[in-house]
Structure 1
């Protein structure tokens, strides 16, 4: 069952980042289904979060979708190379987002192998946000897509995690000032071999 739009409109992006762990993310691009279990996320709490694209209420053509009501996709290109999948959360105007860093592939694995260009290491297929987006067929053109449609969506399959299952640690690759550099706003499933890094 798809997560309802109301799920994404919770104001607490930190809590939602943890609640997304264990949920199933799917895409249907060019008629091909692919997806898997979300195993790693990062929370970005705009506008006070220095690591957020919406820090200090910054609003540009690139990040405008972040100010939408929660439940849509925010896609951007990192380093001019990697497409990155983010989930917009909260109420309209709040600019919170969750970066999906890794999934454990379960559906359409052959499709994802084809998109990634290799078939000898499934642990690498969706390991890291750039790899994940490529494996799922997602690009910047999907920016603003609703998670209630049939192109990108998230389902709850009843996979329950305990507090011990969830690891919280600082986000990766942010050259920003403290305390936000060390905020434990990256979350992953303990012991999962598909996360981008332990």
Structure 2
């Protein structure tokens, strides 16, 4: 990843709202790789290095919940101004976490597909009992389970005190960046083939926290 995708903030500083209000979800999906996602619950704090994301590109994107500008009780958060969490239940089983982007009224988002746990490991071990640590949060449903994210996070600010993202100072090497099509959206036709999934291979080797 080129240095230009960084925002120049200091390590440990919260990513500001302005970073969520840009309108290019593909750029933002790459931008959030290597950032630290932090979640506070009554059980404790857990954080992880974001290592896989997917971009969702608005009303014309057939894979996006906001396709055709259809607003529902489920997806209304997606149409709000960037900088809040869009959390929904997938197949009635798993909560998925998205970062809402752009200006109000345009459904743009980045799905957080995987993180590498770097804080609160004992708590995650309880939440993901019997699971190998390398598989604690290597899928979007596993991310929310490991971090303790449920429907109560839907619509929360991403610069608040329950969920936020921090700068790490890390830059993803191009040789460790895998780009592919999005997962589980075959119904979207050609849009399913868009190379909008970004994965940092070997992210755990950079977790010097």
Q: TM-score range by the shorter chain?
A: over 0.9
- How far is 1:94 from its partner? 1.0
Structure 2 residue 164 is matched with structure 1 residue 153: yes
Q: State which of 21, 29, 38 in structure 2 corresponds to 1:17.
A: 29
TM-score using structure 2 length:
0.88
The answer on whether the counterparts of 1:18 and 1:166 sit within 8 Å (CA) in structure 2 is no
User: 1:64-75, aligned counterparts within 5 Å?
Assistant: 64-75=76-87
Q: Structure 2: 5+ residue runs without aligned partners?
A: 1-12
How far did residue 192 of structure 1 move? 4.5
Are 1:32 and 2:66 an aligned pair?
A: no
Counterpart for residue 102 of structure 1: 114
Cα shift at 1:160: 1.1
1:31 Cα deviation after fit = 5.1
* Root-mean-square deviation over aligned CA pairs: 1.5
**Counterpart check, 1:174 vs 2:185:** yes
Aligned length: 193
Q: Is the 8 A contact 1:169 1:186 kept in 2?
A: yes
Indicate conservation of the 8 Å contact 1:123/1:193, yes or no. Answer: no
> What is the DSSP-based 3-state SS (H/G/I as helix, E as strand, rest coil) of the residue aligned with 1:135?
helix
2:68 is matched with which residue: 31, 53, 56? 56
Query: How much has 1:177 moved relative to structure 2?
Result: 3.8
Higher fraction of helix: 2
Correspondence for 1:114 among 100, 120, 126: 126
Alignment of 1:83-98 (within 5 A): 83-98=95-110
Query: 1-side partners of 2:177 and 2:186: how far apart?
Result: 25
Using structure 1 for the length normalisation, give the TM-score.
Answer: 0.93
Counterpart of 1:46 in structure 2 is: 58
